[in-house]
Structure 1
Amino acid sequence: MFDPVFIVSLLVLGVVSGVLAGLLGIGGGMLLVPFLTFLMVSQGVPVEHVVHSSIATSLAIIMFTSISSMRAHHKAGAVRWDIVKFLTPGILIGGFIGSKVVSYLPTKELAFVFGAFVIFSAYQMYADKKPKPSRTLPGKAGLAAVGGVIGAASAIVGAGGGFLSVPFMVWSNINLRNAVATSAALGFPIAVFSSAAYVINGQHLQGMPAGSLGYVYLPAVACVAAMSVLFAPYGAKLAHTLPVKKIKRIFALLLAFIAMSMIYKAVTGF
């Protein structure tokens, strides 16, 4: 029997992550993983698997959120499909490698890795450094290599890739709104391939609660995805009307706080 507080918490998390996915093109994973980690311990997910399960569950949620966000951005004509086409092959290969690597990391070390990535992401968002006017995207091979890095990192930390792809595209002088929209489209192949790998790699697990499919905790996917899919289009709409740079700075501070909280939990024990 699920705790009503647990269900309500997941639904609220879905609303917030959906809006942020559409607004910032981040897939919501940076927010989902730490909160899922705290919530799923209470549902009987073993401590030694809770961070892995949170990452896998986050990626499964992003499958649905990214479709909703991508459609909204595509209707606005903001997705750079030429970039998506050349980044995706590297993303798929990197996602497979990252999901294999993370299965060998203990929970505490994985929490530290996640925290470090989130703090880096927060810094990138807050700094908002201006690229050189002459800088452009690399060629096809370069984009494939960048895609590999994004895919591997996303699989390791359970994010849609926006924490790397958005700064990379802005660094390459892609308009911020186009970068956010394109990142939303990239979240889908990242999430599909990486979450499938977590299901396969988690078939051997013992002691996972009912409703688990490998590392993926399906009840959390259902609750969060139901709300994130509904609210991602609102975030995408806001991305074309609100001062996104200011919002990114506020969100960067939130990310840093979340990352430090998760690292603290890893040190003191979940």
Structure 2
Amino acid sequence: MDIAAIDLSVLFIFVAALAGAGVLAGLVAGLFGVGGGIVIVPVLFYVFTAFEIPDDVKMHVAVGTSLATIIVTSVRSLRAHMKSGVVDTALLKSWILPVVAGVVTGTAVADMIDGRSLTIVFGAIALLVAANMAFAKSSWKLADDMPQRPGSDAIGAVIGFLSTLMGIGGGTFGNTVMTLYGRTIHQAVATSAGLGLIIAVPGALGFIASGWGEAGTPPFSVGYVNLLAFACIVPATILMAPVGARLAHKLPQQTLKRGFAAFLALVAIRMLYGVLAG
């Protein structure tokens, strides 16, 4: 999409679609306690597909932009959770270096693979996330506490690596890992807000650097981060997350989680089918 050649009506539709992605992401984040990135990435993927963004870059821009939005939402969420006093700051501090190492590795891998391969990675891991949401039980536990180093460092590095490839924050993997190691869901969610910030800052910067000067990116992009999408998604996400949280208290959580798991699985399967059959 050449900026000079964009019709204003097309730009309006593009902006509306991006804002819609933010609304959906905010609702999902509030309803299920997961990061909005798990929704933002596939929605941006399909928005960019509809506007004929080249296959070589659209998934990279979806992932990079998602990571950028997570910076803002993680700061807001972490500030709220810090007031509650349940954030495990010791664990966060111990994870900074291994998580950043995982993020840097993930950014490098994303830069080396093409858009098709990155879509396959997202779809495959999203299917695993959907299965975990649908079938995991709160009683499942690997241990009563997190392992000592170097085991804990390895976990942090893997979380950083996978989250960067998928363009998501710390909630999707962090919540699962911490609850499996004996942490309460409240502490896991609160700590994952900080984990999201540790992942998103170097991840977004990495995608900006790796996509710098890349041809075919959407208008108003800096590297693989689209500033227009960022400006549309962040306010909508912040606005709608509290709405989703209020709805979560009124609806049966298990049914909601399985419903979202089914939705995520269908999206992942469609993405995989599209790239494998194409």
Q: What is the TM-score with the length of structure 1 in the denominator?
A: 0.89
Matched letter for residue 137 of structure 1: M
Query: Residues of 2 paired with 1:13 and 1:209: CA distance?
Result: 16
3-state SS in 2 of match to 1:103: helix
**Aligned residues of 1:121 and 1:163 also touching (Cα < 8 A):** yes
8 Å contact from structure 1 (residues 86, 140) kept in 2: no
Q: Deviations over 1:59-86 (max 9, x none)?
A: 1111112222223333344432232222
Q: Which of 247, 255, 261 does residue 252 from structure 1 map onto? A: 261
Deviates more, 1:11-20 or 1:210-219: 11-20
- For structure 2, which runs of at least 5 residues remain unmatched after alignment? 1-7
Counterpart of 1:29 in structure 2 is 37
User: 1:65–1:232: 8 Å Cα contact kept in structure 2?
Assistant: no
Which of 133, 137, 146 is matched with 1:137 structurally? 146
Where does residue 146 of structure 1 map in the other structure? 155
Tell me whether 1:10 sits opposite 2:18 in the alignment: yes
Cα distance between partner residues in 1 of 2:48 and 2:66:
12
Instruction: Please tell me the residue identity of whatever aligns with 1:107.
Output: G
* 1:173 equivalent in alignment to 2:182: yes
> 3-state DSSP class of the match of 1:203?
coil
TM-score using structure 2 length: 0.87
Partner of 2:216 in structure 1? 207
Please point out which of 42, 56, 59 is paired with 1:48: 56
1:82 matched to 2:57? no
Equivalents in 1 of 2:14, 2:140: separation in Å? 43
For 2:77, the equivalent position in structure 1 comes to 69
Task: Name the counterpart of 1:196.
Answer: 205
Mean Cα displacement is larger for which, 26-35 or 247-256?
247-256
The answer (yes or no) to whether the contact 1:64–1:229 under 8 Å persists in 2 is no
In structure 2, relative to structure 1, the CA distance for the partners of 1:245 and 1:88 (3 Å cut) is farther
Greater C-alpha Rg: 2
Match of 1:162 among 156, 171, 174: 171
The structural deviation recorded for 1:226 is 1.5
TM-superposition CA deviations, 1:23-75 (whole Å, max 9, x none) = 54432111111110110234453221111111111111111122222233333
| Fraction of identical pairs, as percent | 37
Partner Cα separation in structure 2 for residue 181 and residue 56 of structure 1: 24
Partners in 1 of 2:127 and 2:47 — Cα distance?
21
Aligned mates of 1:70, 1:19 — CA distance in 2: 18
State the shift of 1:228 in Å. 1.1
When structure 1 is superposed on structure 2, of 228-237 and 198-207 the one drifting more is 228-237
Q: Deviations over 1:86-135 (max 9, x none)?
A: 22221111101101101111222221111110011111112223234853
Which amino acid in 2 is paired with 1:258? V
- 147 and 132 in structure 1: CA distance in 2 versus 1, 3 angstrom threshold: closer
Name which of structure 1's ranges 201-210 and 113-122 shifts more when overlaid on structure 2. Answer: 201-210
Could you list the runs of 5+ residues in structure 1 that have no partner in the other structure?
none
Contact conserved, 2:28 with 2:241, CA < 8 A, in 1? yes
2:205 counterpart of 1:232: no
Kept in 2: contact 1:90–1:144 (CA 8 A)? yes
Aligned counterparts of 2:253 and 2:83: Cα–Cα separation in 1: 19
Please give the alpha-carbon distance, in whole angstroms, between the structure 2 residues aligned to 1:146 and 1:133: 13
Q: Answer whether contact 1:69 1:184 (CA < 8 A) is retained.
A: yes
Question: Could you say what the CA RMSD is over the residues aligned between the two structures, in angstroms?
Answer: 2.3
Change (3 A) 1:249 1:178: farther
Counterpart of 1:266? 275
State whether residues 106 and 165 of structure 2, in contact with CA within 8 Å, keep that contact through their aligned partners in structure 1.
yes
